[in-house]
Amino acid sequence: MRFDLTASTDNAMLTIFDPVSLKDWIDVPWQKIEESEGLDDGLLDAAEKQGKLMTVSTGSDGTFVVRFYIEEDPPKELTAEALNSVTNALLRVPSGRLWAIGWEYLPQKEQQLQKIQDYKGGDFNSGQCHEIPAGDYLMDAYALISPEPATLCASSKMLGCIGAICIPLAVAIALITGAWGWLLIPTVFVLLAILCQFVFRKGVPERPQPSQPDALCVLKRLPEESDLASFQGKGLQCA
């Protein structure tokens, strides 16, 4: 089984989890958590080591794609490009509902849930869910190298050359011809502004959409008789 989950964060951290594992955190308004001890690093680390969640430190805010492989291996060409990785991380999925969501959007903010099965991912549609067989898993996770930013195209470079020639030329003409010549300078700027609008809409490519996900998670289910004390969860650093 293979699927992608898209999640957004304004805190540079994603969370992968089953809501049943984190019921005590999800089923209370965020304000109450903040008024009490909060979800500090100690609580987070302890829950992660127990396999209740996995954190993915993205290094920046934004929207990220995490690709999951359940009981199958990913292509070697993807894992070969990994910037960082963790192996044999325990992840408990007791209800079979696997979520990826921005860490700060994890709690159910508006109201308490009647049933944890009603969890819909906090606020702002900042995560997604997929159902997998319930159980305890060992997970290998890989942070993939992001694509390079787009470079300026030839027409953009040409525009820079035109500006570098026309502006000094307009100033020289203005100095020679007197007061009326100075009108050339704002005229040149207006023309360059119009060219910029055209070139930067048509000529400069946008940052390319990634042809690969930002992270891979490969889950293999543990036998029911496994001693979970032998394993612990781990976080993934993407940057």
Both 126 and 68 in one domain: the answer is yes
Q: State which residues form the domain around 38.
A: 2-148+208-237
| Phi-psi category of residue 125: left, alpha or beta, with phi > 0 → left and psi -120 to 50 → alpha | left
**Residue 16: CATH number of its domain:** 2.60.34.30
For residues 142 and 177, state if they share a domain.
no
Predicted confidence band of residue 221 (pLDDT cuts 50, 70, 90): very high
pLDDT of residue 21: 86
One domain for residues 144 and 75: yes
pLDDT tens for each residue of 52-86: 999 999 888 888 999 999 999 999 988 888 889 99
**Residue 155 · residue 203 · CB < 8 Å:** yes
Residue 135's pLDDT is: 94
pTM to 2 decimals?
0.67
121 conformational bin, left if phi > 0, alpha if psi -120 to 50, beta if neither: left
Kindly report the number of other CB atoms within 10 A of residue 142's CB atom.
24
User: What is the tally of structural domains in the chain?
Assistant: 2
Percent of the chain with pLDDT over 90: 31
